[in-house]
Amino acid sequence: MFESFFKSVPRWTMGRARQHIEAHKLDEYNLIDVRQPEEYAEGHIPGATSIPLGELPARIGEIDRSKLTLVYCRSGGRAGNGTVLLTQSGFAQAHNIGGIMEWNGLVASGAPEAGMAVYDAAHKPEEYVALAWAMEEGARLFYLELGERFTELTAMFETMAAGEEHHRDQLAELYHELSGQTGEPALEGAAGLMEGGIDREAALAWARQREAVDVLEFAATMEANAHDRYIHVGRAVGGATERAFVDLAEAEKVHLGQLMQAFGQRLG
């Protein structure tokens, strides 16, 4: 399709890309997954935009040329072709970072539209914010109960809960600005959910029967998906509200790192 043979394709190692992703906010770079949609749905780097290689020529206008652009696929071949196309189209900072098999960390699962099905009840910016408020509150309650269940991890889970409370309060302020209403944000169908659209009571019932290491892995996966979904919601909503969701996504990335550290310590 695209001839990358005998051409110098700008390349970063996945390790270097991971360091960049962890150190920078998503709006400072582009992260493009050029695999097929079903591959993306099985697992992708959180925050990645799905643009299959075959669609890239027609959708290249969706990508900001001024930003560093990181391209990946399964093993690096398609990413190389995609990177060549981008450089030939005027992208001065496009790099093939290889394949997701080299990614050493959690991946988000589900296609963007599937993962965002829970957002179908929201249509206006303030409704998206109200839904996010409910999910942050759900996560706060979830972490508080985990702290009671796993006493050796109480301090960490209470810190996580405090972070969710801070996010919730920020979202409440934004909701009041957008809607002109006072009181607690509310959206029909949002009660009982937590980050990623997960039912809180079902998750708690599962967690009560599991060991700490299993719950840490679950919580880290939840945060990875929340990070990913908030990015996609922000893009869908746009405008000033997008900034709030990008900030939320960055905060979830911090939580993900904390949980992964605790998970690694338990495994060790």
Per-residue pLDDT tens for 186-209? 888 888 888 877 889 999 999 999
How many Å separate Cα 117 from the centre of its chain?
A: 15
CA-CA distances (angstroms) from residue 86 to 40, 44, 70, 163?
A: 20, 21, 10, 39
Q: How far apart are CA 203 and CA 76, in angstroms?
A: 36
Average pLDDT, the chain: 87
Q: For the chain, how many structural domains are there in total? A: 2
Q: Could you list the active site residues?
A: 73
In this structure, the answer to whether residues 162 and 199 fall within a common structural domain is: yes
What pLDDT does residue 29 have?
97
Among 68, 102, 136, the domain-final residue is 102
- Tell the burial category of 99 from Cβ atoms under 10 Å away from its Cβ (0-12, 13-18, 19+): middle
In this structure, the answer to whether residues 231 and 144 fall within a common structural domain is: yes
pLDDT tens digits along 61-93: 999 999 999 999 988 888 988 998 899 899 999
Task: Enumerate residues 6+ apart whose C-beta is below 8 A from 159.
Answer: 258
Q: How far apart are CA 71 and CA 105, in angstroms?
A: 17
Does residue 5 lie within any of the structural domains?
no
Note whether 188 and 139 are within 8 A (CB). no
In this structure, the answer to whether residues 74 and 194 fall within a common structural domain is: no
The residues with which 108 forms a beta bridge, in sequence order, are 44
pTM beyond 0.85: no
Domain that holds residue 129: 112-267
pLDDT tens digits along 220-250: 878 888 888 888 888 888 887 898 899 998 8
> pLDDT band at 118, cuts 50/70/90?
low
CATH number of the domain where residue 29 is located: 3.40.250.10
